[in-house]
């Protein structure tokens, strides 16, 4: 399945969608498209001939005549996005235009439409790892060089967060194919039980507004105090709309961890994605909005709940906050993909 859009019109569509809440189609452009490449299921098993279809996004609007410079945005732990190759305000495309480069985005295996196996069983998830993902990149580059007749290709990999690590590791593993790498916030040093990011959250909030940060502190101080008693947990269950309420749980340490993780997560997301030029984060769901809520005259605990409800609007209409570690594990055990997009492994 192929689709083509014009970059400038795509940006106009985003702006219209933002203002009206309606979805708009855009005109076609033969230089921008969505394609699929045949990949190996296991790059490290020479006896295996299983293959699958990996999705990628292509834009050569900015390619200079005779240029073989290629910018490759490596996908991370989410579906690939067309915006990366059509939104002219993204730095990725600003640089592609400056250097006359082809711009590509490669969707990560097991995400979006790039599904190497029929399900996510434990047996199949052994193929979901960074070594296979980096090998996907190498095979992709070799295939693109041949398919598009790139005689002296200069490949630069890009990525952010986990995908930023992939961009660097790919450059390190395949220096014969990749000339350089650009990453943002790549977590190269794995740390078990990494709580340090919460210090970043606090520092960002305090640098934005001290009152906001203090109200967040007071809200979580109240949560910690109420967690010490049955009556307190009953109040938390009501105010924070917990499902199930604490009274229905045989409370374990894992439940406690999961509860605090859910409370912290919405604040962490706002800081991590504050005003990045992508989707809703470009104009909403950031530090200013969170602090506007937390600086309201209401009780800090109830304002924490308002933040949770507001940030949950990124994904779906808010009804309640999940509060069961066991239910979370049951959800993660589901082997089926989240929609019937088909199975591409051969």
**Residue 116: strand, helix, or coil:** coil
Tokens of 7: 């970059």
Query: Which domains occur in the chain, in start order?
Result: 8-184 (3.40.50.1820), 197-332 (1.20.120)
The overall average pLDDT reported for the chain is 89
Residues present in the chain in total: 346
Element (H, E) at 203: helix 197-208
Is 82 strand, coil or helix? coil
Each residue of 200-215: pLDDT tens digit? 999 999 999 999 999 9
Residue 280, pLDDT score: 79
User: What is the pLDDT confidence band of residue 120, given thresholds at 50, 70 and 90?
Assistant: very high
Does the pLDDT at position 2 exceed 70? no
Q: What SS3 class is residue 214? A: helix
Whole-angstrom Cα distance, residue 68 to residue 148? 10
| CB 71 within 8 Å of CB 101 | yes
DSSP assignment string, 133-159: HHHHHHHHHHHHHHHTT-SS-EEEEEE
Q: Which of 242, 241, 250, 240 is nearest to 326 (CA)?
A: 250
Question: pLDDT exceeding 90 applies to what percent of the chain?
Answer: 75
Higher-pLDDT residue of 40 and 2 is 40
Q: How many CB atoms lie within 10 A of CB 310?
A: 18
CA distance 135 to 226: 50
**Helix %, strand %, coil % of the chain (to 5):** 45, 15, 40
pLDDT digits (tens, 9 = 90+) for 52-86: 999 999 999 999 998 999 999 999 999 998 888 88
Which of 165-169, 180-184, 279-283, 329-333 is predicted with the least confidence, judged by mean pLDDT?
Answer: 279-283
Q: Which two tokens stand for residue 316?
A: 């779906």
pLDDT per residue as tens digits for the range 178-191: 999 999 989 998 88
Tell me the pTM. 0.84
**pLDDT of 281 higher than 90:** no
Bridge partner list, 33: 58
| CB of 137 closer than 8 Å to CB of 170 | yes
Question: Using CA of residue 59, residue 65, residue 66, residue 69, what is the dihedral sign?
Answer: negative
Nearest alpha-carbon partner for 290 in 230, 227, 201: 201
In this predicted structure, what is the pLDDT of residue 339? Answer: 65
| Angstrom distance (rounded) from CA 161 to CA 248 | 37
Q: What SS3 state is found at 215? A: helix
Q: How far apart (Å, rounded) are the C-alpha atoms in residues 220 and 217?
A: 5
What CA–CA distance (Å, rounded) separates 86 from 61? 9
Mean pLDDT, rounded, for 283-311: 96
Q: Give the other-Cβ count within 10 Å of 204's Cβ.
A: 16
Separation of alpha carbons 215 and 267, rounded Å: 13
């Amino acid at each position: 399945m192929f689709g083509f859009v014009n970059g400038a019109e795509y940006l106009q569509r985003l702006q219209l969608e933002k203002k009206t809440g309606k979805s708009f189609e855009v005109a076609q452009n033969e230089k921008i498209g969505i394609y699929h490449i045949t990949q190996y299921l296991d790059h490290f098993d020479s006896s295996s001939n299983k293959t699958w279809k990996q999705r990628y996004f292509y834009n050569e609007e900015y390619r200079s005549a005779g240029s073989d410079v290629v910018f490759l945005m490596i996908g991370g732990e989410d579906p690939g996005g067309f915006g990366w190759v059509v939104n002219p305000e993204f730095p990725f495309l600003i640089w592609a235009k400056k250097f006359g480069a082809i711009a590509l985005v490669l969707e990560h295996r097991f995400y979006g439409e790039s599904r190497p196996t029929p399900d996510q069983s434990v047996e199949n998830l052994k193929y979901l790892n960074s070594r296979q993902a980096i090998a996907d990149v190498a095979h992709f580059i070799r295939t693109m060089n041949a398919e598009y007749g790139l005689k002296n290709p200069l490949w630069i990999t890009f990525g952010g967060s986990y995908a930023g690590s992939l961009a660097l590791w790919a450059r390190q593993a395949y220096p014969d194919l990749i000339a350089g790498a650009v990453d943002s916030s790549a977590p190269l040093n794995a740390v078990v039980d990494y709580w340090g990011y919460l210090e970043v959250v606090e520092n960002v909030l305090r640098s934005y507004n001290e009152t906001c940060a203090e109200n967040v502190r007071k809200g979580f101080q109240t949560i910690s105090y109420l967690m010490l008693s049955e009556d307190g947990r009953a109040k938390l269950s009501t105010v924070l709309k917990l499902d199930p309420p604490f009274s229905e749980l045989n409370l374990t340490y894992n439940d406690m961890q999961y509860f605090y993780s859910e409370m912290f997560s919405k604040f962490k997301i706002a800081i991590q994605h504050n005003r990045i030029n992508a989707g809703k984060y470009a104009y909403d769901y950031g530090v200013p909005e969170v602090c506007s809520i937390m600086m309201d005259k209401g009780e800090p605990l109830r304002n924490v709940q308002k933040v949770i409800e507001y940030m949950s609007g990124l994904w779906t209409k808010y009804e309640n906050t999940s509060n069961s570690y066991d239910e979370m594990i049951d959800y993660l055990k589901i082997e089926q993909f989240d929609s019937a997009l088909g199975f591409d492994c051969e």
